[in-house]
A and B are shown apart, each in its own frame.
Chain A
């Protein structure tokens, strides 16, 4: 599942996709805003970090309603600032876009700041329609799960 997704994404990353003239494409405004299309076609920060690294937190969340799965990983530096993040998502275009945008949103933030990110920020940025709001919720859950995992690790290390 994740492998086929990754191979599809990396094949998209390897070749330059056909240009989408976003003004002339009448993608349904209800579902595929140009920002969603952009993240879907050019997802940011796809991949994995070493989950055993003590500076890496891994959040793996699933949405029972649609069966989508999101893995979001964060790496922090010694000061606790998020310096890198990666995601892998099995899901629809909006889920991919939400997690891709989430990895951009949290970079440079502290764990506390990242934990305050709400799904509506993601939904508003991507102009997600009501039927796809749960994708942004999943991204918020994934961020929180990654932070929780990192905090747990750091507590165990002490």
Chain B
């Protein structure tokens, strides 16, 4: 709302100075300022821009200043005035008047448009590194360049200036250093090599600040904390790089220790500003420690410090502590330490008054969850869900669903949890969640009976959520027969129970229930007539909804004309779903944005999702290649005439030929696959599988935690292979630890031809199982299905390490914890030849260390297993006993599972 006299201050013409020579600079300035004020109050301004632009070229500072302010606040980056503005800026930049240059640089940074980047991105680096530039201008130039780099990185040329910018870290003026550090941090993220030298400079600068007496830095000491902003920025810069060389590293560790020590000192002031500044530095130091993830001591100290903050009376600190702990939970050194705070965190969930803090607590619980505490955490989350804020309910639901699945030891617990989830927060349970529970129930026959019983009981409730009806309908349709023996859940009672919900449900759910009914017709012939009556009723056959009507008509017809055999084939139990990325996880990631998924494993899972042709969420896609329209119908019966749902290829019969393209059960492993697999443990190339039709050859290379495998499929016949589909199958566990990416191959392989498939491999964390390669194709009239184990084993990610005898034994002693050592004594399967044994140890990937073991007959090796998350040092020792024809193999590594797996793999080789 504007006071009337505000407007009366303007001359009559709305374009107040065009052609009006009477307005002097002062008036122009005044009116531009008023317009700006009006704009800030939320009103549109359509005029006056030109006057503001004119003010830019004034020689008077105050006029120029208001002109620039108006432009910065009001001019859109695509304004047509931009050329005039750029011109004025150019003049000011060239003026060598520091005040004018400052104004111009501010304006560029505030507008930050592409046009401005085009015009000035070349000029600003020169100003920045010129020897005679004033400090305040340097500061502005650094940030201005940063701003342009953020908006248009392609327009900022790298060049000689980069090395000179790095040296600004040594500048006398701390303001310049702060601005330069911001700039270098962003540039270094994209061009780490070019700015590598900044690491040692940043460390020495940081060390000077941290160890300085609080008066040394004069004005930059803020409430007794020396240069907190600069410290924070430097610590951020260091987070762009891995831990530095030992020399610099020692100094950095000292700094970090000092910062941690200072946190324990009594505060020098009671003011909140003092503790804020101190803790800002502390949190950044902790982030750096977590980022480096290499100093167990510091990590544990950081964790303890955060633990103290979890109970601090300052809400801000509790919030930040929860947030930092989330990242700490993914480090192997501190995961256990983080877990000790579970009580505090669950307590925070109940008592925190602030939703932001509660949200962080949920995130942390999610991050610290593992098999040991999953039941407790899931229970806490479920109970919190009853009172949770609406804004975060859906996310909690997803998290509970994921944790319940990931850490389910007992799938009855999983089913209970998800049904509880639907009961407590049905509205927030997205499709993905209940799709997933069905996928899991279908794939695990041990839980099917329990699931049927539980949903049946849950459906008894007078008011149950529609999602429960969907799950209930689907599961009873598949497995209702498992509980039909009990007279309390006889077929008719099951049907009546479901049908009592029918009229309250939405169309997609009703469609699903109709499919359940037709499945009942197959499962329970005794209720066939009841169901036919229902299908025949007007409300079904003449339903206004086309989908429902069509289903009713077709199902009714199917139930009347088809023989029991055909019905049984058509309505057979759903085949297992192919293992794929949990659709819930995909949903959570979409919701939270990729940057916030803290769980490392998940990030890896995402990449591995490609294997199965992308994360299509609906299980419908797994069963119904022939369904043209995606509907909520899980049976894949869709709008098309009832089609057989993925009959297993072995069942034979007429329909199979027509639909044999649909994904089907995986063949058991080919004979000899295990032996072939073992041969590849110590070598990378060779023939993996061969029969009369097909030969599979492998060629692979590995470096650190990455690898690439070329799979060659040779058609040994003279006839084409059709529908040739190789699929990589990983269990859920494996997929979390090993990421495989590949592209589908051409579905036809000509006679005598060879096709090649490349698999990109990333080892995320150590793993035990091996992926299975399943190949399905049609040869002549027959369907072929071959499965072999793909030899991607943990030892492929070995890097040999040479070390002297002394080192070796020192390390050997360090790994003396009983869990770290695994030993196996076994009988030799091959002749005991020293040279072959040596070759095998080298082929296994570790270095073969000569003259280390006092007994020359023994073999010792050392190496590092590289995974994405961590590196694991491994030592091994093999003692042959020629007389007994036995070996004793000892593995010591920092991780129990690794020792275990390597020992298994290597034992098979001798």
Tell whether A pairs with B.
no
- B residues within 8 Å of A by Cβ? none
Residues of A within 8 A of B (CB): none
